[in-house]
């Protein structure tokens, strides 16, 4: 028999995607993906090469987490602690982007594409650092609420 509850039909994935893009976390992840793609294009346009592996890896990881969070798979697969995994992804991304981008910008023997990729990489590093900060605040508030709930048994 069909369920006659008041819930209505479940939203489709494109609807979930649009709704997730409007959230703060969704827009930050989308910015990380776009910036990583721009950095990748700049590094690949250089005849001398660059640190394209950083841009590829961080873009792929951001796409994976964007897909998981937008489809709400993090609530279904509780084996992985998604918040802590996202924190490690953001911390590593911020560090790698800032280090490699500073190397690309400071090295004067490189061409314009590497320098442009380094500048966009610094911007991406700042966005990843902001993501790290917001995830840290989320973990901190979750721990604070859990600690407050355990104090009630006294």
| pLDDT per residue as tens digits for the range 100-119 | 999 989 987 668 889 999 99
Residue 26 lies in a domain: yes
Q: What is the mean pLDDT of the chain?
A: 87
pTM for the full model?
Answer: 0.84
Label residue 49 exposed, middle or buried (CB < 10 Å: 0-12, 13-18, 19+): exposed
* Range(s) of the domain holding residue 63: 13-144
- Percentage of residues in the chain having pLDDT higher than 70: 86
Residue 53 lies in a domain: yes
- What is residue 154's predicted lDDT score, i.e. its pLDDT? 46
Please indicate, yes or no, if residue 152 is contained in any of the structural domains. no
Instruction: Assess if residue 149 is contained within a domain.
Output: no
What's the pLDDT band for 1 if we cut at 50, 70, 90?
Answer: very low
- Report if residue 65 sits inside a domain: yes
Contact status, residue 55 vs residue 147, Cβ threshold 8 Å: no
Residue 154 lies in a domain: no
DSSP 152: G
From residue 148, how far is each of 41, 139, 144, 153 by CA, in Å? 48, 14, 6, 10
Number of domains forming the structure of the chain: 1
d(CA 121, CA 53): 13
| Cβ proximity of 122 and 105 under 8 Å | yes
């Amino acid at each position: 028999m069909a369920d006659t509850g008041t819930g209505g039909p479940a939203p489709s994935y494109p609807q979930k995607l649009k709704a997730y893009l409007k959230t703060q976390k969704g827009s930050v992840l989308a910015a990380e993906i776009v910036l990583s793609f721009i950095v990748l294009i700049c590094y690949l346009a250089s005849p001398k090469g660059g640190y394209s592996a950083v841009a590829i890896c961080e873009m792929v990881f951001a796409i994976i987490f964007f897909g998981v969070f937008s489809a709400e798979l993090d609530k279904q697969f509780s084996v992985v602690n998604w918040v802590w995994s996202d924190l490690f992804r953001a911390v590593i991304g911020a560090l790698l982007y800032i280090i490699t981008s500073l190397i690309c910008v400071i090295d004067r023997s490189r061409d314009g594409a590497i320098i442009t990729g380094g500048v966009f990489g610094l911007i991406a590093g700042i966005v990843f650092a902001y993501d790290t900060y917001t995830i840290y605040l989320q973990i901190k508030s979750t721990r604070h609420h859990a600690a407050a709930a355990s104090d009630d048994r006294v």
